[in-house]
Amino acid sequence: MSDSTERKLNIGGRGQWDFTIAFLLLRFWLGVRALFVGIEKFAAYRSVAMPLIDPATGQPDASGVMVNVNIKSYALANYAGIPTALGDKFAHQPLLPKFAMVPFNYMLGPAFILTGIMLLIGLGTRVSLLVQGLLFIALTVGLVLIDQSDGVAWLGIHVGLVAAAFLLAEHNRFVVLKKW
């Protein structure tokens, strides 16, 4: 390898830390993204009637007017791996096997939470990246079948980020288990 090529790649010098930092950024971004996608599967909004607050006084409106306010809460009872609106579309799609929809729905949130935590702490980063990549591909198949092109594009970007993380995985320095 010529000196100019070696300088461009910065092999053996500070450039190795550039690759490590690039991998850590991808690992943490994908980990945080997966963790919060999984947590959001347990969220639900409920409408609560509250008195209208007079902006001038900060007190409830004297006329007793009530407004509906959406309050977000998290609970196990709120779990929906696949949103109801999409689930209805999937139910009418003949190419999606009905027997697979129920287990996929139940495992989606926990799988994202688990792989997110694994990436954040560096426990089996390659395994968690593989699982995330497979989840994104499975979600892509579903969105293609119900003609949700915008979602497919976003999932394609995520698959690209997972692929980039795999390319940089050899520079994974801060881990619990390096091999996996």
Q: Longest Cα pair distance anywhere in the chain, in angstroms?
A: 82
pLDDT at 54: 78
pLDDT at 95: 82
Return per-residue pLDDT of the chain as tens, 180 residues: 555 445 445 555 556 788 989 999 999 999 999 999 999 999 998 888 888 887 778 788 777 788 888 899 999 999 998 888 787 888 878 888 888 888 999 999 999 999 999 999 999 999 999 999 999 999 999 889 888 888 899 999 999 999 999 999 888 888 887 666
DSSP assignments along 113-152, one per residue: HHHHHHHHHTBSHHHHHHHHHHHHHHHHHHHHHTT-HHHH
- How many whole angstroms separate alpha carbon 137 and alpha carbon 95? 16
Give the tens place of pLDDT for each residue, 159-175: 999 999 999 988 888 88
DSSP assignments along 60-75, one per residue: BPTT--EEEEEEEEE-
Give the tens place of pLDDT for each residue, 24-33: 999 999 999 9
Q: Measured on CA atoms in the order 71, 72, 76, 80, is the torsion positive or negative?
A: positive
pLDDT at 2: 52
- Who contacts 63 (Cβ-Cβ below 8 Å, separation ≥6)? none
pLDDT at 26: 95
- How many whole angstroms separate alpha carbon 176 and alpha carbon 3? 36
